[in-house]
Amino acid sequence: MLYIKEVLLQLLFALVPFVLYNIYYRNKTANYSKQFITITCMICLFMSMTFHSSVLNGIIFDIRYVIMFFGMVFGGMTTGLILLVEFLSYRILIGGKGLFSAMIILVITFNLSVLLSILYRRRAKYRKLITFLAGLSFSVIPICVLFVIEPKYVVEHLTFNFLALPIQNSLGIWLLISLFNKAVSDKQLFQKYLQNEKVETIAHVAASLAHEVRNPLTAVMGFLKLIRNEAISKEKTNYYIDICVEEMKRTEVILSEYLSIAKPSTPIYEQMDLVPQLNSVIDIMTPYANMNNVALEVHNEGQQLYISANPNEIKQLLINFIKNAIEACSCISKGKVIIRMAPESRISAKITIHDNGVGLSNEQLERLGTIYFSTKSKGTGVGLTLSYQLIRSMNGAIHVRSTLGKGTEFVISLPLTN
């Protein structure tokens, strides 16, 4: 029974990188980094060596070989060397009868881990086989070395050495590698769908912007032709030039705002005013609303609403909700989207986006924000999923009210900063 408890504890330590990955990267669009792998493996190695398995004083077993192999597969050789230094330092500090055996086993298993990790990265077709060989090797090598150096110990503790130790290493490496790979592949799939969603949004907005930009350019062209007429007065010429300058400025603003949603978002958070962000998004989405025969109506109290956020992420969030609202009422006559922004109890900023569109059923309301759910035939739902995650990561909240055939209202609350 004691062996089972110790094996289960070591398996728990082996899953630390997987658990921390799911916690830390849950609301992030980025995938794991080598620094993350190194830090989590160091934590895992320290914990497993501190609460090691042992049936004889001085001879200890833990999940070290599994962690080193995992660290080299996902973090590279640098991570492996850092873990090697950590193990050597801590094992020497622990000391005991099995120190010499541990060093010999480490020399063999470390070099084997280097070889297997290289094969794992280069031979994707044989990854399951390589993982199996790694688990088998990390179970057999320690027993063989100990049988040569401490044969009496191996014979006296056959159950632990030939049952508990192989299960601990083989099952540990299989669980950690397979679960971590699954989590990483799911994140990559999410990123792919997210990029497709963003490209689709940009394509839709670009089509309406092209139409909107053409209007001021046509006006500028007309006024320039008038200016060539020598019969008009200097005052009128200057007036026409002023109009041309204003139209070009308006075009520049529209294009600048459009480019800001197309460029990659950086993970830098800063204190920012929500009102200008909303105004810039309205400039972007107005042509799209016009193209869909939908009226945009904006209300705000004119005061500053400061939050801590990434401007590009907030801009994309607002675009996602407003675009969805426009599309929800594009197929009805007199479609309208009303956007309100105001402080709420001096604690949070409240953004309300109301449309008089097709509405949502109770079943659709329950599934809103879940990955890959969309009410649109060609939608993936990833944009809305990311928006929900972003709101929660900022300690905000979102509430939805909807009636089929009458419209939908999203109420977003984001905490204000002092």
pLDDT in tens, 178-230: 999 888 888 877 767 666 666 666 666 666 566 556 656 766 777 777 777 76
Q: Are strands 306-309 and 407-415 parallel, antiparallel or unpaired?
A: unpaired
Q: What dihedral angle (degrees, nearest 10) is formed by the CA atoms of 273, 279, 284, 285?
A: 110
d(C-alpha 176, C-alpha 174), whole Å: 6
Q: Where are the domains of the chain?
A: 2-193, 269-415
Share of the chain above pLDDT 70, in %: 83
DSSP secondary structure of 16-43: HHHHHHHHHTTT-SS---HHHHHHHHHH
Helix H, strand E, coil C: the string for 37-53 is: HHHHHHHHHHHHHHCCE
Is the per-residue pLDDT at 80 higher than 80? yes
Predicted pLDDT at 107: 92
Query: CATH classification of 269-415, choosing from 3.40.630.10, 3.40.50.300, 3.30.365.10, 3.30.565.10?
Result: 3.30.565.10
| Phi (first) and psi of residue 352, to 5 degrees | -115, 125
201-208 LR contacts (CB < 8 Å, sep 24+): 201/261, 201/319, 201/320, 201/323, 201/383, 202/258, 202/261, 202/262, 204/288, 204/323, 205/258, 205/261, 205/284, 205/285, 205/287, 205/288, 205/319, 205/323, 206/258, 207/291, 208/287, 208/288, 208/290, 208/291
Stated as kind and residue range, the H or E segment containing 398 is: strand 397-403
pLDDT given at position 200: 66
The 10s digit of each residue's pLDDT in 89-119 is: 999 998 888 888 889 999 999 999 999 999 9
Closest CA to 354 of 403, 317, 391: 403
What is the model's pLDDT at position 380? 46
3-class DSSP state for residue 409? strand
C-alpha–C-alpha distance, residues 412 and 314, integer Å:
12
Write the DSSP symbol of residue 353.
E
How many other CB atoms sit within 10 Å of the CB of residue 167?
A: 16
Question: At 99, phi and psi to the nearest 5?
Answer: -60, -45
Beta carbons of 68 and 109 less than 8 angstroms apart? yes
The answer to whether residue 256 scores a pLDDT higher than 80 is no
- The answer to whether 348 and 416 have CB atoms below 8 angstroms apart is yes
- The pLDDT mean for the chain works out to 82
Please tell me the pTM assigned to this model.
Answer: 0.54
Determine the pLDDT at residue 197: 64
